[in-house]
């Protein structure tokens, strides 16, 4: 069987698993008398999970290709830490009863505005000043992430305990209480990002060959990487602002997609990563709601599994180098 046929079969299996997970999530333990009420609660959460999986899955594959490393994750860009700092600063300076803290649409727009501005400053301007050395930009993102985390920790230490208790829920990724009104804004922004980067996304297969080879093939590598890096940051910002930080999800689904499809074509890799993300999020939320009765947020399960998977990848690559 040809590789293309094999990948099509795998894709069909993944789509089937997504459909089964969606059906299970929507129908499990639903009283026939309250189907309409249950759908009003579950459908918005399901759509948020699918959007989040698409953003993180696609952004993770693109980011790994740009960095030329498959054991990195977009959380190194610092958006997760910046998100936590923004919410902590709002509660610390304005209080948990402030308009920004209580109004989900306004809070979402504030998150996106600040994270988008930070992305343009750090990964746009800095990329030029560092003479298009992407590793320096990645180092800057790691340093900024540590800086944001330190500031956020300082604010929480001197914060009123009652305010901190009100803040804590927003710092952990959760699909239990989502605002469906944010879906339309997120969908529009995602569509704009994909449309703006449609040409650059077609060049990913060439960029994966390496900078010198891509230049020889006529690609403006520096400009393409800068635009794609900004797009990755915006997608991660959208997913983080929508549900909160999920650090290891991108690492898990991106590498599973590469191992599953075994191809250089990013069409397959991005598709696989997004669909695997949907399976992980929908299936994980199903376990959280019906297995743990909401006692454990899904982000905890993903962080534990992602940490173990990262160690497996790390030791596996070490053994490959030794061999």
Over the stretch 143-179, which tens digit does the pLDDT of each residue have? 888 899 999 999 998 888 888 887 877 777 777 666 6
Residues 6+ apart with CB under 8 A from 71: 251, 255, 310, 313, 314, 317
Cβ-in-10-Å burial (0-12, 13-18, 19+) of 95 comes to middle
Q: For residue range 236-265, what is the model confidence (pLDDT) as tens digits?
A: 888 888 888 887 888 899 999 999 998 889
Say how far apart CA 282 and CA 265 lie, in whole Å. 26
| The pLDDT of residue 22 | 94
Q: For residue range 168-208, what is the model confidence (pLDDT) as tens digits?
A: 777 777 776 666 778 888 899 999 999 999 999 999 999 99
Structural tokens at position 288: 């959280």
Residues 6+ apart with CB under 8 A from 302: 246, 247, 248, 249, 252, 280, 284
Structural tokens at position 281: 């999020």
Say how far apart CA 227 and CA 262 lie, in whole Å. 26
CA torsion, points 5, 10, 14, 20, in degrees to nearest 10? 90
In the chain, what are the domains?
Answer: 3-322 (1.10.3470.10)
Say how far apart CA 97 and CA 91 lie, in whole Å. 8
pTM of the model: 0.87
């Amino acid at each position: 069987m040809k590789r293309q046929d094999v990948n099509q079969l795998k894709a069909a299996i993944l789509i089937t698993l997504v459909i089964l997970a969606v059906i299970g999530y929507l129908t499990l333990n639903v009283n026939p008398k309250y189907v309409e009420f249950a759908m009003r609660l579950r459908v918005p959460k399901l759509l948020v999970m699918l959007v989040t999986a698409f953003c993180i899955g696609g952004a993770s594959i693109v980011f790994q290709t740009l960095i030329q490393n498959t054991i990195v994750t977009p959380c190194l860009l610092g958006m997760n830490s910046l998100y936590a700092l923004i919410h902590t600063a709002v509660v610390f300076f304005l209080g948990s009863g402030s308009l920004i803290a209580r109004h989900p649409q306004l809070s979402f727009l504030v998150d996106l505005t600040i994270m988008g501005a930070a992305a343009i400053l750090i990964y746009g301007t800095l990329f030029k000043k560092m003479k298009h050395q992407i590793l320096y930009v990645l180092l800057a993102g790691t340093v900024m992430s540590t800086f944001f985390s330190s500031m956020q920790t300082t604010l929480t230490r001197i914060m009123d305990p009652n305010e901190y208790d009100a803040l804590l829920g927003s710092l952990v990724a959760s699909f239990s209480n989502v605002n469906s009104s944010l879906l339309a804004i997120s969908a529009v922004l995602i569509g704009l990002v994909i449309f703006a980067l449609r040409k650059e996304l077609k060049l990913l297969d060439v960029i994966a060959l390496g900078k010198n080879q891509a230049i020889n093939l006529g690609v403006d590598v520096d400009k393409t990487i800068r635009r794609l890096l900004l797009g990755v940051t915006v997608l991660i910002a959208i997913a983080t602002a929508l549900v909160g930080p999920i650090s290891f999800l991108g690492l898990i689904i991106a590498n599973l997609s590469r191992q599953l499809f075994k191809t250089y074509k990013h069409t397959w890799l991005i598709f696989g990563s997004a669909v695997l993300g949907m399976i992980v999020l929908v299936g994980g939320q199903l376990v959280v709601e019906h297995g743990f009765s909401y006692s454990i947020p899904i982000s905890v399960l993903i962080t534990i599994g992602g940490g173990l998977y990262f160690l497996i990848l790390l030791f596996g690559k070490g053994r490959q180098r030794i061999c």
